[in-house]
């Protein structure tokens, strides 16, 4: 039997061609696949880094709210005493009156920092985050943070500026205060218990968001299943802080 050598040559050529073609295809797939994996790795790395910054920012803002609450509570206490005195300033020592003035005259304050959240919000990273539920929680958290800051900077600080008289003499100072309708309104406003419910709410929302960042990062979790846990977390924190504040008020 005579073997066709041309056929063998052609067959070997085709085999070599197919092997080379397969090698090229595999190389292209590995190259593009590797680039895609590397790009995804870099995106995840950047997202993780910015989420760490957001977490640290939330911790900083949490402390900011604590400082604001402490300042407002001191003011509320002083303003309440001013109303209780009802013009009988001789019943209080001069150093006490001076202390009251030093508390009410304070106007220095710092603003919140939201730069990390703005970077994330304005980047394409937020669109590529796999955990869309976490994005929603972060958005809600910063919404309430900004809303609370706006309340503090307008309802509190702006009105406080209007309420403070220019007189520095303690006795004359309080006489002006009691005759100043804006001051009396502000003092009454500061003793409104509804204000103090906002602080534990914001504090709990921030803590819960930090908890989610620590626990889930950029991985998915079931937001619907977490809603009940979120509400329970907020309620427990508010009840706990409310009881603590009531105890402090009674001690004062």
Q: 201 or 222: whose pLDDT is higher? A: 201
Q: How many domains, the chain?
A: 1
Q: Provide the domain limits for residue 247.
A: 53-251
Q: Is the pLDDT of residue 142 over 90?
A: yes
Q: Tell me if 117 is assigned to some domain.
A: yes
Q: Tell me if 25 is assigned to some domain.
A: no
Q: Tell me if 118 is assigned to some domain.
A: yes
Indicate the pLDDT class of residue 8, thresholds 50, 70 and 90. Answer: very low
Q: Tell me if 131 is assigned to some domain.
A: yes
Instruction: Give the residue-averaged pLDDT of 78-105.
Output: 76
Q: Tell me if 247 is assigned to some domain.
A: yes
What pLDDT is recorded for position 183? 73
Q: Is the pLDDT of residue 24 over 70?
A: no
What pLDDT is recorded for position 26? 60
Indicate the pLDDT class of residue 133, thresholds 50, 70 and 90. Answer: confident
Please give the angle made by the CA atoms of 154, 157 and 159, to the nearest 5 degrees: 75
Total residue length of the chain: 252
Of 179-188, 189-198, 242-251, the one with minimum mean pLDDT is 242-251
Q: Tell me if 85 is assigned to some domain.
A: yes
What pLDDT is recorded for position 224? 56
What pLDDT is recorded for position 7? 45
Q: What is the mean pLDDT of the chain?
A: 75
Q: Tell me if 212 is assigned to some domain.
A: yes
What pLDDT is recorded for position 27? 62
Please give the angle made by the CA atoms of 167, 168 and 170, to the nearest 5 degrees: 105
Indicate the pLDDT class of residue 14, thresholds 50, 70 and 90. Answer: low
Q: 149 or 111: whose pLDDT is higher? A: 149
Q: Tell me if 44 is assigned to some domain.
A: no
Of 11-15, 121-125, 228-232, the one with minimum mean pLDDT is 11-15
């Amino acid at each position: 039997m005579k073997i066709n050598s041309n056929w063998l040559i052609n067959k070997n050529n085709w085999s070599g061609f197919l092997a080379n073609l397969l090698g090229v295809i595999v190389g292209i797939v590995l190259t593009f696949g590797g680039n895609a994996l590397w790009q995804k790795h870099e995106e995840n790395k950047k997202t993780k880094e910015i989420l760490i910054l957001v977490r640290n920012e939330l911790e900083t803002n949490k402390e900011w709210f604590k400082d604001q609450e402490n300042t407002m509570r001191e003011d509320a206490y002083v303003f309440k005493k001013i109303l209780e005195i009802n013009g009988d300033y001789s019943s209080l020592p001069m150093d006490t009156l001076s202390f009251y003035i030093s508390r009410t005259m304070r106007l220095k304050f710092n603003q919140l920092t939201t730069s990390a959240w703005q970077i994330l919000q304005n980047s394409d990273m937020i669109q590529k985050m796999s955990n869309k539920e976490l994005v929603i929680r972060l958005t809600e958290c910063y919404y309430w943070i900004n809303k609370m800051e706006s309340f503090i900077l307008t309802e509190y600080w702006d009105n406080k500026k209007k309420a403070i008289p220019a007189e520095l003499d303690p006795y004359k100072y309080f006489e002006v205060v009691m005759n100043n309708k804006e001051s009396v309104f502000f003092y009454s406003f500061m003793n409104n218990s509804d204000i103090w419910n906002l602080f534990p709410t914001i504090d709990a929302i921030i803590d819960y968001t930090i908890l989610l960042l620590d626990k889930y990062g950029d991985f998915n979790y079931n937001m619907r299943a977490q809603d009940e846990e979120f509400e329970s977390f907020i309620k427990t924190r508010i009840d706990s802080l409310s009881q603590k504040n009531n105890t402090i008020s009674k001690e004062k």
